[in-house]
Amino acid sequence: MASADLGGRQATAAPASPYAIELKGISKAFGSVQANKDINIAIPRGTIHGIIGENGAGKSTLMSILYGFYRADSGQILVNGAPVTIPDSQSAIRAGIGMVFQHFKLAQNFTVLENVILGAEDGPMLNSSLAKARKILADLSREYELDVDPDALIEDLSVGHQQRVEILKALYRQAEILILDEPTGVLTPDEADHLFRILRGLRDQGKTIVLITHKLREIMETTDNVSVMRRGTMVATVKTAETSPEALAELMVGRKVLLEVVKNPAKAGNVVLSVKDLAVKDEHGVLRLKGVSFDIRAGEILGIAGVAGNGQSELLEALGGIAPASGLVVLNGAELPLAGPQANGKARRNAGIAHVPEDRQSLGLIMDFAAWENVGFGYHDDPRYQKNAWLMDNDALRADTAAKMATYDVRPPIPTLAAKSFSGGNQQKIVVAREMDRNPDLLLIGQPTRGVDIGAIEFIHKQIIALRDAGKAVLLVSVELDEIMSLSDRVLVMFDGQIMGERLPAQTDERELGMMMAGMIAK
Amino acid sequence: MTKLPTWADVGLVPLISLTLAALVSAGVLLAIGQSPMQALTVMVNGALGSSYAWGYTLYYATSFIFTGLAVTVAFHAGLFNIGGEGQAQLGGLGVALVCLALPWPHWSIALVAAMFGAALFGAAWAAIPAYLQAKRGSHIVITTIMFNYIAAALMIYLLVNVLRPDGQMDPASANFPSGAHLPQFQEIPILQGLFQRFGADGQPRLNAEGLPLYQQVPANVTFFIAILACVLVWVMLWHTRLGYAIRAFGKSEKAAVYAGISPLRIIMIAMLISGALAGLMAINNVMGQAERLVQNSASGAGFIGIAVALMGRNHPLGIFLAAVLFGFLFQGGAALGLETDIPIELRTVVQGLVILFTGALDQMVRMLMGMFFAKKGAT
């Protein structure tokens, strides 16, 4: 395998074991936290193997051990039946293991070709490596539908294409086993379908694919076998054909989970928020939100669908008082100032807008602050948290935090713990608790369940619907089409800073929305 | 990296860093052919060995507390105020103008007025870099350094051309009126006994009128104001809305904007408080000790404040302890210069090493400790 002879890429002599990877008794602890506990798994060659589990279940740790980022405390790794040690990623590559990370590791100002050979050059002079890579890339592209222009700069490529470059990088290094970590998080439905076609093609050529994801639908559609992890242990490995999403969800969470959102028809009331020609420029003066108009009524959830980066963030920031904007926004009959000192988050909160931001770690929370300090974040002027004109009542804030933690099932319920010590789902619950508990007239909520585990997703969805049923208006922005379709009463699709059109969830499907998200159907 | 237990984090790590600094200092002393033990004895005796020695150590510490707090308040807002030196010099100008303005009837009235002047001038000197940072994004590290130089030049101009009394040779202001004299430790009734002078026969030395004589020390009532400032800064940072907003802004400007905290307001307020604290240092050295304004009045205390804040982990209690440590180094180093033939410059070397180990190499010690505790936790 270590040979640089690329002719041997196709099929070496048939190895003895039918398994591409076997892990035997892998354990790994970080301090007192047992991230992996006696993991046993055997992945047959030439299959797509899914690994699912909640956040913190140990999936990433396991894959990091396989890719040489961590060393297991105990246990054995076998590749093609032969025991190997993988002290670093170079060894993983030599063992034929390639990894496609959730966040791509590509040099933005390099071409595709340069990225592919980066770290795998044959010598100090690049020309021969580049020529060789060009030829191999052309072969790979033909074989697997992996077409990318080898001379394009990475920064000019779409996310889907960048991902293909990552796959090409692995294949160029003769990877026989390809691990993909949450590969569809940044893709449109169409791009995701294309990716899965590529993966099936690779499998049919005898490669082994390990797919880490939390999306049950992808597991069901794509994998041959699926392993479920929960709290550091491998709880089951089953044939995908013989299981169901419900059964998998139950295995992941350890209890029955409602995958379908249950809600009554909306009873829409008066217009709460009216937006006309809202436009936002970024710091370079580029128009990111190009004049959008819509209304939201009391008691309805308006969903905004779209691929990330098409103006949804700017919309939330403009309405939340974070970014200056132009246009006309009327909340409960009163016009909101959109620029100047009066356009700030505090003023919006006072006006009755609560905002669960898309990025809880950089906007919604101060990660170094304790949970109780974060519960006061944005509301630290609230009279309830003041002892007198001068001093804050930290005890009152801590007590309020403890109460919110109980209501919103934040675990562990320790108000003095720093925000960064909570899991993603529990961090999100802290933000949701803080914003929803104010009983706002309008809730802005972006990516409510990004990086949140299934159990918490169910909980957060219920909270959003409860708020709607209490007669409040909700603006929901999400890149998860499932979430938009199941929660929204009306859906707007955004593309390139504009609204492509409005649909009712019952009268559309993911295909149509996906086309609109790609800018293909005009109003 | 393993999280250290709190006691190890705030106690053990600085202690190990200091020990390392001391060991390397000993190496330097050996290299120049001096005895580290003798140097240590002289330093400890000279800085801590008597009430007289403490009177100097705490005088220096008082200045460092103010400048350390100044750095800390700005630091919690995510701003690195390196301009403490210039702000302290301007604070001295404020003190001098107040003290020379009136024949003050009592020191307490003069003190309140001088504190106001010191804080006002220090804050004003910080306000310009703060505004440039908030409005134009001019980096505060660069602008505050530049303002240190401007302050030095301005003070020389004022001392030579404006404040210098006719006929005086050195560039300094006139002496302050006696009504502006702050009680030094030997003049404070409760502490007085500690500083009484005794003759070789063990009998108290008396003056011509038969009253006891006391040793003069520069430490003065400002020390107690410094302690009060520590408490007030602590309350401000952790128990007021303003402190909450400052700390939130310092941790994440983006998130602060989400929460409706105005960056302009926080940068201005934090830097004004920081400048005022640096300016207040002048109460100690200009009003409490020199009793006139001289050139380079802050004599480096503004910069030492950075090390004090760093070592004190940006917490008022830590700053108090770190300021006393640096007071010890300052006074002990002076004793070295007086009583041994070790050059006084060595105190700069020792200070440098302390800053190097407690500041720059702090993470190294922390990492090694982390590995130690991780191992201990695993077994």
Sequence length of chain B is 379
Measure B259 CA to nearest chain A CA, in Å. 4
Measure A379 CA to nearest chain B CA, in Å. 8
Distance CA B115, CA B178 (A): 17
Q: Closest chain B residue to A394 measured between Cα atoms?
A: B239
Distance CA B322, CA A340 (A): 43
pLDDT at B151 over 70: yes
Asked if residue A192 belongs to a domain, the reply is no
Q: Judge: B252–A366 Cβ closer than 8 Å, yes or no.
A: yes
Q: Judge: A348–B2 Cβ closer than 8 Å, yes or no.
A: no
Asked if residue A168 belongs to a domain, the reply is no
Q: In one letter, which amino acid is A186?
A: V
ipTM of the complex: 0.84
Q: Judge: A392–B239 Cβ closer than 8 Å, yes or no.
A: yes
Q: Following DSSP, what letter does each residue of A93-123 receive, concatenated?
A: HHTTEEEE-SS----TTSBHHHHHHTT--SS
Contacts of B263 in chain A (CB under 8 A): none
**Kind of pairing, strands A473-477 and A301-305?**
parallel
* A507, A301 Cβ separation under 8 angstroms: no
Residue pLDDT, tens place only, A144-153: 878 888 899 9
Q: Judge: A345–B377 Cβ closer than 8 Å, yes or no.
A: no
Contacts of A32 in chain B (CB under 8 A): 377
**Kind of pairing, strands A326-331 and A271-281?**
antiparallel
pLDDT at A9 over 70: no
Once rounded to an integer, what is the mean pLDDT over residues A67-90? Answer: 89
Selected for mutation to probe chain A from B3, B258, B266 (highest A CB count within 10 Å) is: B258
Residue B374, chain A, CB below 8 Å: the answer is: yes
* B265, B104 Cβ separation under 8 angstroms: no
Alpha-helical (H) ranges within B261-343 are: 263-282, 301-311, 316-339
What pLDDT score does A7 carry? Answer: 39
Asked if residue A284 belongs to a domain, the reply is yes
pLDDT at A46 over 90: yes
Residue pLDDT, tens place only, B52-85: 999 999 999 999 999 999 999 999 999 999 999 9
pLDDT at B340 over 70: yes
For residue A511, give the H/E element and its range.
Answer: helix A510-517
Contacts of A386 in chain B (CB under 8 A): 241
Asked if residue A359 belongs to a domain, the reply is yes
Residue A183, chain B, CB below 8 Å: the answer is: no
Selected for mutation to probe chain A from B241, B254, B264, B373 (highest A CB count within 10 Å) is: B241
Q: How far apart, in Å, are the Cα atoms of A334 and each of A268, A295, A328, A329, B260?
A: 20, 14, 10, 8, 20
What pLDDT score does A359 carry? Answer: 87
Selected for mutation to probe chain A from B76, B242, B244 (highest A CB count within 10 Å) is: B244
Residue pLDDT, tens place only, B110-146: 999 999 999 999 999 999 999 999 999 999 999 999 9
Residue pLDDT, tens place only, B61-70: 999 999 999 9
pLDDT at B378 over 80: no
Distance CA A506, CA A512 (A): 12
What pLDDT score does B202 carry? Answer: 80
Measure B80 CA to nearest chain A CA, in Å. 19
Contacts of A381 in chain B (CB under 8 A): 241
What is the band of B269 on the pLDDT scale with cuts at 50, 70, 90? very high
Contacts of A373 in chain B (CB under 8 A): 244
What pLDDT score does A6 carry? Answer: 41
Tokens of A386: 């003041």
pLDDT at A244 over 60: yes
Measure A412 CA to nearest chain B CA, in Å. 18
pLDDT at B4 over 80: no
Q: Which long-range contacts (CB under 8 A, 24 or more apart) does A4-7 make?
A: A4/A122, A6/A132, A6/A136, A6/A174
- Rounded to the nearest integer, the mean pLDDT of chain A is 87
Q: Judge: B244–A373 Cβ closer than 8 Å, yes or no.
A: yes
- Burial zone of B11 (CB within 10 Å; 0-12 exposed, 13-18 middle, 19+ buried): exposed
- Rounded to the nearest integer, the mean pLDDT of chain B is 91
Residue B237, chain A, CB below 8 Å: the answer is: no
Q: How far apart, in Å, are the Cα atoms of A481 and each of A72, A143, A189, A306?
A: 37, 31, 8, 8
What pLDDT score does A4 carry? Answer: 42
| Helix/strand/coil for B120 | helix
How large a percentage of chain B has pLDDT more than 90?
66
Contacts of A31 in chain B (CB under 8 A): 2, 374, 377-378
Q: Closest chain B residue to A375 measured between Cα atoms?
A: B259
Residue pLDDT, tens place only, A95-136: 999 998 877 888 989 999 999 888 888 778 888 888 888 998
Residue B234, chain A, CB below 8 Å: the answer is: no
What pLDDT score does A432 carry? Answer: 94
* A365, A431 Cβ separation under 8 angstroms: yes
**Domains of chain B, CATH where assigned:** 40-184+219-357 (1.10.3470)
Distance CA A42, CA A77 (A): 10
Residue A395, chain B, CB below 8 Å: the answer is: no
Distance CA A454, CA A477 (A): 19
User: Which of A175-184, A369-378, A423-432, B338-347 has the lowest average pLDDT?
Assistant: B338-347
What pLDDT score does B376 carry? Answer: 63
Once rounded to an integer, what is the mean pLDDT over residues B235-256? Answer: 95
pLDDT at B1 over 50: no
- Number of domains into which chain A is organized: 1
Provide the residue range defining the domain that includes A344.
Answer: 271-517
pLDDT at A12 over 80: no
Contacts of B234 in chain A (CB under 8 A): none
**Kind of pairing, strands A233-239 and A498-503?**
unpaired
Q: Judge: B259–A377 Cβ closer than 8 Å, yes or no.
A: yes
Residue B247, chain A, CB below 8 Å: the answer is: yes
Asked if residue A133 belongs to a domain, the reply is no
pLDDT at A5 over 70: no
What is the band of A318 on the pLDDT scale with cuts at 50, 70, 90? very high
* A187, A480 Cβ separation under 8 angstroms: no
What pLDDT score does A298 carry? Answer: 95
Distance CA A5, CA A7 (A): 5
Contacts of A369 in chain B (CB under 8 A): 247-248, 251
* A203, A144 Cβ separation under 8 angstroms: no
CATH number of the domain encompassing residue A460: 3.40.50.300
Q: Closest chain A residue to B234 measured between Cα atoms?
A: A391
Q: Judge: A362–B261 Cβ closer than 8 Å, yes or no.
A: no
Asked if residue A396 belongs to a domain, the reply is yes
More confident residue, B8 or A366: A366
What pLDDT score does A3 carry? Answer: 41
Q: Looking at the partner chain, which of A320, A349, A366 has a beta carbon nearest the beta carbon of B251?
A: A366
Asked if residue A460 belongs to a domain, the reply is yes
- Burial zone of A33 (CB within 10 Å; 0-12 exposed, 13-18 middle, 19+ buried): exposed
* B166, B93 Cβ separation under 8 angstroms: no
Q: Judge: B258–A363 Cβ closer than 8 Å, yes or no.
A: yes
What pLDDT score does A159 carry? Answer: 80
Question: What crossing angle do the helices spanning B140-158 and B84-101 adopt, rounded to 10°?
Answer: 30
Asked if residue A364 belongs to a domain, the reply is yes
Residue A438, chain B, CB below 8 Å: the answer is: no
Distance CA A129, CA A123 (A): 8
User: What are φ and ψ of residue A55, in 5° steps?
Assistant: -60, 135
Q: Judge: A346–B378 Cβ closer than 8 Å, yes or no.
A: no
Tokens of A107: 């040099």
**Kind of pairing, strands A442-446 and A271-281?**
unpaired
How large a percentage of chain A has pLDDT more than 90?
48
Q: Which of A87-91, A119-123, B222-226, B341-345 has the highest mean pLDDT?
A: B222-226
| Helix/strand/coil for A474 | strand
pLDDT at A508 over 70: yes
Tokens of A226: 């699926």
Q: Looking at the partner chain, which of B239, B248, B377 has a beta carbon nearest the beta carbon of A377?
A: B248
